[in-house]
Amino acid sequence: MATETEAKIRVADHEPLRARLIQLGASAQGQQVHVDIYFDTAEGRLRKTDTALRLRCAGQTSVLTYKGPREEGRYKQRQEIETAVADTQAIKSLLEQLGFTQSLLLEKSRESWLMDRCRVELDTLPLLGTFVEIEGPSPEDITGVIERLQLDSGNSITTPYPTLVREHLQKIGNPSRQIRLTEAGS
């Protein structure tokens, strides 16, 4: 079992960050649209225990991920178990048979970079805006990348995207459970 360690920082615009990544010699890994489908029980058992079950579809690839509760620390750290999925519809049916239902569908645009043993993700989410996520093998590696990119580590957010989306939807009185990139201007 792996531990995911990441920093998430809201940014006004990706352009200056992209230019800095190029200047520092980071390696561009491409851009994808992620369709993240979150599952939970009718009672919300996973959300209540700060855990998550996500099916991510990106191009022809699908991955099922379990995320454990967040651990205390400067950055978000949690247990993460992932496995590739050959048949997306079959895994959805399997999860439904086990008592899980789709609690949220969230599309986001992600541009990926590699820098100093870390993945740097430039994320655009509908309704929420632009973020940078930096995932690495240790908090020290992540801090080093944050400093080199001239970001403020004090602005690091440990709240997961699904929670940020749910909070925003609740605030604006929108009961939707499917958030698509076409809603980015909303």
Let me know: does 102 contact 177? Beta carbons within 8 Å: yes
Which CATH entry fits the domain spanning 2-183: 2.40.320.10, 3.40.1190.20, 2.70.98.70, 2.60.40.150? 2.40.320.10
Please state, as a whole number, how many other Cβ atoms lie within 10 Å of the Cβ of residue 128: 18
For the residues of 114-167, what is the DSSP string, one character each? EETTEEEEEEEETTTEEEEEEE-SSHHHHHHHHHHTT--GGGEE-S-HHHHHHH
Per-residue model confidence (pLDDT) at position 1: 64
Q: Torsion-angle region of residue 117: left (phi > 0), alpha (psi -120 to 50) or beta?
A: left
Domain boundaries, the chain: 2-183
Position 185 pLDDT exceeds 50: no
Closest alpha carbon to 125 in 150, 95, 161, 75: 161
Q: Which residues of 95-121 are buried (b: 16+ CB within 10 A; e: fewer)?
A: beeeebeebbbbbbbbbbbebeebebb
Position 145 pLDDT exceeds 80: yes
Tens digit of each residue's pLDDT (9 = 90 or more) over 9-53: 999 999 999 999 999 999 999 999 999 999 999 999 999 999 999
Q: Whole-angstrom distance between the N-terminal and C-terminal Cα of the chain?
A: 38
- Give percent of the chain with pLDDT exceeding 90: 78
CA distances to 7, 93, 99, 102 from 96, rounded to whole Å, are 32, 5, 5, 8
Tens digit of each residue's pLDDT (9 = 90 or more) over 66-81: 999 999 888 999 999 9
Let me know: does 69 contact 75? Beta carbons within 8 Å: no
